[in-house]
């Protein structure tokens, strides 16, 4: 037993000769937002379908709430809300009417559940507007309302921000964040857009060609990939002492005897160089490095564009 809400063990899905998901081990912690990040075709949807037992893995296992999904589907799935593919809403009914039909099918007590879930996603209750007249953003909100209507503990949302305009994106982000912070839900969300994930997720898994390349907290990822000044000089322990005593900084990392990375990029680089040299250090190089998270994502996925 452990505290993971979702854990996969060597989860693999093979279509023909191609592995769409390969030995995937992800760990989603309770009460956090986990962002599964990867380009189109990376294996995000396939992974989520296996988590929900909609697709059978070729090998490997899925544990949700500590239990194997294959043997406990009936007990687990009522505690999970998901948005994988667009639900089949009726175009000639209103949003409220659509949710009423789904609530009936699923045996969910109607009135409050519908009202609350619409409120949560910012759609009006008993509005006259038909689903066919909804904007893409409204359709997406209604899909999420449907996913949360039965008040699940875990939400699995496949690219929920796809196709929204910038205001819609900000709003959806806010209510997803609230679902986690205010209501204590655990949320797994996928995206192919790094900026979306980095604004929302607590933990990030980077998937490429079905392989999980990284799994870390956003904080750890950002620390690894922030701006820094790289000094190549003759004695890093002395340089460290100067940074601490003269520039009052502890925010640096000694890489080896010659290389030191200073993360306080607001400190004056030329004054630091001067001080190093006045103290007898030889500085062969100093430059500002701006490895952003985006650069990093491109680097680990081995390509350029991510949008
Ligand atoms: N039913 C299927 N049959 C064959 N190949 C599939 C099937 N579903 C997905 N794939 C392939 O698996 C890979 C991963 O797809 P998918 O999980 O949809 O990626 P993502 O959601 O990250 O864009 C893709 O190469 C896709 O073509
Ligand atoms: Mg997908």
Q: Which of 159, 144, 160, 168 is nearest to 192 (CA)?
A: 159
Residue 224 has pLDDT above 90, yes or no: no
Q: What is the CATH number of the domain that holds 92?
A: 3.40.50.300
Atom 20 (ligand 1) nearest CA = 41
Residue 277 has pLDDT above 80, yes or no: yes
Atom 8 (ligand 1) nearest CA = 46
Look at residue 239 and tell me if it is in a domain.
yes
pLDDT in tens, 105-144: 888 877 799 999 999 888 999 899 999 999 888 898 999 9
Residues 248 and 177 in one domain: no
Look at residue 96 and tell me if it is in a domain.
yes
Residues 18 and 151 in one domain: yes
Q: What is the pLDDT of residue 303?
A: 65
Closest ligand 1 atom to residue 49 Cα is: 17
Residues 89 and 111 in one domain: yes
Closest ligand 1 atom to residue 55 Cα is: 1
Mean pLDDT of the chain: 92
Q: What is the pLDDT of residue 307?
A: 40
Residues 205 and 250 in one domain: no
Q: From CA 218, how far away is CA 204, in angstroms rounded?
A: 6
Question: How far away, in angstroms, is 46 Cα from ligand 2 center?
Answer: 7
Residues 132 and 48 in one domain: yes
Question: How far away, in angstroms, is 84 Cα from ligand 2 center?
Answer: 8
Residue 25 has pLDDT above 60, yes or no: yes
Residues 102 and 21 in one domain: yes
Q: Which of 11, 13, 14, 15 to mutate to test the pocket of ligand 1 (most atoms within 8 A of CB)?
A: 15
How many domains in the chain? 2
How would you class 31 by CB atoms within 10 Å of its CB: exposed for 0-12, middle for 13-18, buried for 19 or more? middle
Q: Is 205 in the pocket of ligand 1 (CB under 6 A)?
A: no
Residues 184 and 249 in one domain: no
- Domain of residue 123 covers 4-215
Atom 18 (ligand 1) nearest CA = 45
Look at residue 221 and tell me if it is in a domain.
no
Look at residue 304 and tell me if it is in a domain.
no
């Amino acid at each position: 037993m452990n505290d993971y809400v979702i854990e996969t063990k060597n989860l693999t899905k093979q279509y023909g000769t191609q592995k769409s998901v390969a030995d995937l081990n992800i760990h989603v912690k309770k009460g956090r937002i986990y962002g599964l990040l990867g380009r189109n075709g990376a294996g995000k949807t396939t992974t989520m379908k296996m988590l929900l037992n909609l697709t059978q893995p070729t090998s490997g296992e899925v544990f949700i709430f500590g239990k194997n999904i294959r043997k406990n589907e009936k007990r687990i799935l009522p505690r999970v809300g998901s948005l994988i593919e667009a639900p089949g809403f009726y175009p000639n009914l209103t949003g409220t009417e659509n949710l009423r039909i789904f609530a009936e099918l699923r045996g969910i007590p109607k009135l409050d559940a519908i009202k609350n879930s619409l409120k949560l996603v910012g759609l009006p209750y008993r509005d006259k507007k038909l689903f066919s007249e909804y904007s893409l953003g409204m359709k997406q909100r209604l899909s999420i309302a449907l996913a949360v209507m039965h008040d699940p503990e875990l939400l699995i949302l496949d690219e929920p921000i796809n196709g929204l305009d910038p205001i819609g994106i900000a709003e959806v982000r806010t209510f997803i964040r609230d679902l986690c912070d205010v209501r204590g839900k655990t949320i797994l969300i996928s995206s192919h857009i790094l900026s979306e994930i980095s604004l929302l997720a607590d933990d990030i898994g980077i998937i490429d060609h079905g392989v999980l390349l990284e799994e870390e907290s956003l904080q750890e990822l950002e620390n690894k990939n922030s701006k820094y000044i790289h000094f190549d000089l003759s004695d890093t322990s002395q340089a460290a002492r100067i940074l601490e005593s003269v520039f009052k900084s502890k925010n640096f990392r000694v890489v080896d005897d010659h290389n030191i990375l200073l993360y306080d990029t607001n400190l004056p680089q030329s004054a630091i160089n001067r001080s190093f040299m006045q103290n007898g250090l030889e500085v062969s190089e100093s430059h500002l490095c701006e490895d952003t998270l985006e650069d990093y994502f491109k680097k680990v996925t081995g390509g350029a564009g991510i949008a």
